[in-house]
Amino acid sequence: MWTEEQRARHAPRGRRYPSDLTDAEWALIAPFIPPPRSGGRGRKTDMREVMNAVLYVLATGCQWRALPKDFPPRSTVYAYFWEWRRYGVLDRIHHALLEACRERDGRAASPSAGIIDSQSVKAAEKGGRTRTRSASMRPRRSRASSATSWSTPAG
């Protein structure tokens, strides 16, 4: 027999798209969304809908101008996305969700050790200043690019 709690848990969520946030997901993310700025006109845009729109673009790979009309205006969504990216809001959300996943799996919230294999060390040794400096210098002209390079002695 179904209880009211089970019915509520298994009821259709009313999400329009698979990328839309559930209530539980929004409860985790909402504290990281900055409050509206003081002064001026008040915020009328639903931040959950903005986040749903950003997740839709990221999940589908569609262009901003192809954002469905049932989301807030694309210019509004785009502006919030870049503001959140610029001020580290998305990074803080990602870090908090990563810690929550690690704790749910029974691990420490932050990794306590790193693993470095021999390939990682080799790759790190090849990088550095010389690699950066040579990338900013003018490329050398290949001798093979000249038709007479093979017939004239290198001097």
24 domain residue, yes or no: yes
Is residue 76 classed exposed, middle or buried when 0-12, 13-18 and 19+ CB atoms within 10 A define those classes?
middle
Pull the structure tokens for residue 17. 């798209």
Range of lowest pLDDT (48-52, 58-62, 143-147): 143-147
- Please report the pLDDT score of residue 79 as a whole number: 95
* Mean residue pLDDT across the chain: 81
Q: Where are the alpha helices (DSSP H) in the chain?
A: 4-10, 23-29, 47-60, 74-86, 89-104, 118-126, 129-136
Residue ranges making up the domain that contains 92: 13-35+46-104
Q: What is the mean pLDDT of residues 70-90?
A: 94
Residue 17 lies in a domain: yes
* Overall size of the chain counted in residues: 155
Q: Which of residues 130 and 7 earns the better pLDDT score?
A: 7
Residue 3 lies in a domain: no
- Sequence-distant (6+) residues with CB within 8 A of 60 are 19
The better pLDDT of the pair 119, 130 is held by 119
pLDDT tens for each residue of 137-153: 566 666 555 555 455 55
The answer to whether residue 115 sits within a structural domain is no
Please give the Cα distance from 36 to 32 (Å, whole number): 12
Work out the average pLDDT over 4-12.
Answer: 74
For residue 89, is pLDDT > 70?
A: yes
Please count the structural domains in the chain.
Answer: 1
DSSP letter (8 states) at residue 66: G
> Is residue 26 a part of any domain in this protein?
yes
CA distance 81 to 86: 9
